Amino acid sequence: MRRFLRSPSLVESRGRLILVATVEKSKLNVPKSLRIWGLQACGTTWVEIERMPQQLYLQFAEVEGSQGFDCVGHGEFIAIMIRGSDKALLFNIYGKTWQWIPPCPFLSGSGGSSSSSGEGCELHGFAYEPRLATPVTTLLDQLTLPFQPFNG
């Protein structure tokens, strides 16, 4: 059976590559849905991790209105942000839970509440994990320097 993927997004979760997309099949007996797949360790096979519950997908599809969506993954979470809107869903990969993210009070045009038209306010995401690190090569170079006696 052929699948049609809409708004496919690749995200990372704890070192694993994840694909998020809506699936629209040509057969009418299979409902449209948002699905999440994980790339297997062999690197050649995708396995379905989760499928958005149908009732939630109907709400999501109504809000999304074929505008598409973008995803950001970090740790065990995937944020699914609807384009042209201040609405987003959060999926917990390990808890297998879905929840709408509360509206951001700092988006211009939203006034602290979710805008039904989505005009002038749109969420964007970026996964970034700052770390403090010491370059190991510099430390190794210092360890291999010849001993310098102190002449005092």
Domain membership of residue 50 as a residue range? 3-143
Could you give the C-alpha distances from 61 to 24, 67, 87, 107, 108, in angstroms and in order? 12, 9, 12, 22, 24
Question: Using an 8 Å Cβ cutoff, are 125 and 89 in contact?
Answer: no
- Say what the pTM is: 0.70
Whether 151 is in a domain gets the answer no
| pLDDT above 80: residue 92 | yes
Whether 148 is in a domain gets the answer no
The pLDDT assigned to 77 comes to 93
As for how many domains the chain has, the answer is 1
Q: Quote the CA–CA distance of 151 and 12 in Å, as a whole number.
A: 55
Q: Over the stretch 16-62, which tens digit does the pLDDT of each residue have?
A: 899 999 888 766 556 688 999 999 988 889 999 999 999 999 999 99
Whether 139 is in a domain gets the answer yes
Give the chain's largest Cα–Cα span.
88
Average pLDDT of 70-91? 91
Q: Over the stretch 127-150, which tens digit does the pLDDT of each residue have?
A: 777 777 666 666 666 666 666 677
Average pLDDT of 120-131? 72
